[in-house]
Amino acid sequence: MTDKQKLVVIGNGMAGARFVEEMVALGGQEQYDITVIGEEECGNYNRILLSGVLSGSHNPDDIFINPVDWYAANGVELHTGVRVIGIDRKGKMAYGAGGVLMPYDKLVIATGSSPFVPPMDGLITDEGAYKKGAFVFRTLEDCKEIIDYAASGAQSVAVIGGGLLGLEAARGLLNRGMEVHVVHLMAWLMDQQLDPKSGELLMRSLEGPGVQFYLEKLTTAILGDDRVAGLEFKDGSTLDCDMVVISAGIRPNVDLARMAGLHVRRGILVNDSLACRNDQNIYAIGECAEHRSQTYGLVAPLWDQARVLAERLAGRNAEASYTGSRIATKLKVMDVELAVAGDKDALTEDDEVVTYVEPNRHVYKKVIVRDGKVTGAILLGDGSAAPRILQAFDRQEALPENRSELLFPMAGDAGLPMKVEDLPDAARICDCNGVTKGRIMAAATEEGCGSLKAVCDATRAGSGCGSCKPQVQAVLDLGRNKLEMAK
């Protein structure tokens, strides 16, 4: 019916849906008929907030960004609950399970990632499902199932994986009144983002009633006959629990691309135009894409990519290119404030590492400076410095020579309130009317003004906004005292 090109987007998650939103905002529908295929049954929701849903702080309805009716209202065709099983690059056709055929001129792959599930005995049942009580934590559906199971009488849960997502899951389950065991393969928590010291301090600040940590534990088996009853570790020890949540990392979903013959390493290889290396009509964005040897698991880079690709395809900026993102994240792990950015350790001998540690309060601040710019930071237990340092990192700003001013931004920020005795006569007491201490003193001592009202009438102090009246009174008292002393 039209001579528009067909644009097919595989994936309706954080990257795919954002890209479609950007296309709509840029008027991309003038050139394309847009079709989106989502594997989940619902519209697009904010995956970042799943941990909030798990902990009960967010209502699932409040995390939707583009509900199903958004697509129709914006002229976008949406297929939900459809898994794409193949791409015919020669015929320019995507095949959905159940016989859905989608011809394309341009194809965007935004298939995201899947939970990495390490091999463990007893996890998969004969029917091919996870054992009752074992879950991964990736989708809203996973989240709902975990909540239901936790509410059905489970008392204790093991979370496999002490990374960012694992700790968020642990917080959610703790909020639901469960006894939580966090099992981590490495020697310290969040080993991807933290150095050993901060990982240790993080663990110490998180430990408490209801939460226990097990480091350097490789889970080899899920115990229990028809439902989860415990874990067994490689060292032979075991742990009793009623349920297990596996969040041991993610893997880009690249099978579809690989089968289609696209170049794939960890992710689908794309260049700065976000087009696949060996097919310029196919693009990949989001967690499934690998750009300059980097795959991303945070939302900001995904949205940067979505924006760049939309600008290119909508013709707003045919030269738009993606050159990589600076990775920083701010998270709350069980109410402990933590911000991390860039490198976690010095990379060269010339790198300057500024560290402040306060073990008692579990405060750790580390900034890595290279060529006078922040290239990495770990800020644990004190949220006040994070906005300033992350801004310096994001924008590669020049830094104060005295690095402590970066770590302690508020130091000396607000002066102590001055006593009126210590102020010089020229100090202004009433800003509205420019009345100085000397003028008020004169009214009190030389002009015989004995009351606040008399001073205010004579000098106009306090007759604007009125907020200086306490100080006017104090100066008046000072003046009256002076008179008394002189007697």
Tokens found for residue 397: 């700003």
Q: Which one of residues 210, 230, 383, 450 is an interface residue with another protein (CB under 8 A)?
A: 383
* Of residues 133 and 462, the one with the C-beta less far from another protein: 462
Q: Are 78 and 279 in contact (CB under 8 A)?
A: no
Q: Per-residue contact track with another protein, 31 to 70, x per CB under 8 A?
A: --------------xx-xx--x----xxx--xxxxxx--x
Range 100-110 burial, b when 16+ CB lie within 10 A, else e: eebebebbbbb
Helix 14-25 to helix 299-313 angle (10° resolution) is 40
Stretch near another protein under the rule CB under 8 A, chosen from 136-144, 215-223, 262-270, 330-338: 330-338
3-state helix, strand and coil shares in percent for the chain, rounded to the nearest 5:
30, 30, 40
Is 99 an interacting residue with respect to another protein (CB under 8 A)?
no
Q: Which one of residues 26, 85, 331, 452 is an interface residue with another protein (CB under 8 A)?
A: 331
DSSP for 398-453, written as a single string:
---SSTHHHH-TTTT-SPPPPPGGGS-TT-EEETTTTEEHHHHHHHHHTS---SHH
CB atoms within 10 A of CB 255: 14
Is 164 an interacting residue with respect to another protein (CB under 8 A)?
no
Is 464 an interacting residue with respect to another protein (CB under 8 A)?
yes
Helix 140-151 to helix 164-175 angle (10° resolution) is 40
**N-to-C CA span, the chain:** 102
Q: Which one of residues 81, 261, 387, 448 is an interface residue with another protein (CB under 8 A)?
A: 387
Q: Which one of residues 134, 390, 443, 478 is an interface residue with another protein (CB under 8 A)?
A: 390
* Of residues 25 and 353, the one with the C-beta less far from another protein: 25
**Amino acid identity for residue 473 in this structure:** Q
User: Which residues ranging from 261 to 300 are in contact with another protein (CB under 8 A)?
Assistant: 299-300
CB 337 → another protein: shortest distance, Å?
Answer: 7
Is 391 an interacting residue with respect to another protein (CB under 8 A)?
yes
What is the size of the binding site for another protein (CB under 8 A)?
Answer: 51
User: Which residues ranging from 411 to 440 are in contact with another protein (CB under 8 A)?
Assistant: 412-415, 431-434
Q: Are 68 and 43 in contact (CB under 8 A)?
A: yes
Q: Are 257 and 265 in contact (CB under 8 A)?
A: no
Q: Which residues bind another protein (CB under 8 A)?
A: 45-46, 48-49, 52, 57-59, 62-67, 70, 299-300, 328-332, 337, 383-384, 386-388, 390-391, 394-395, 397-398, 400-401, 405, 412-415, 431-434, 460, 463-467
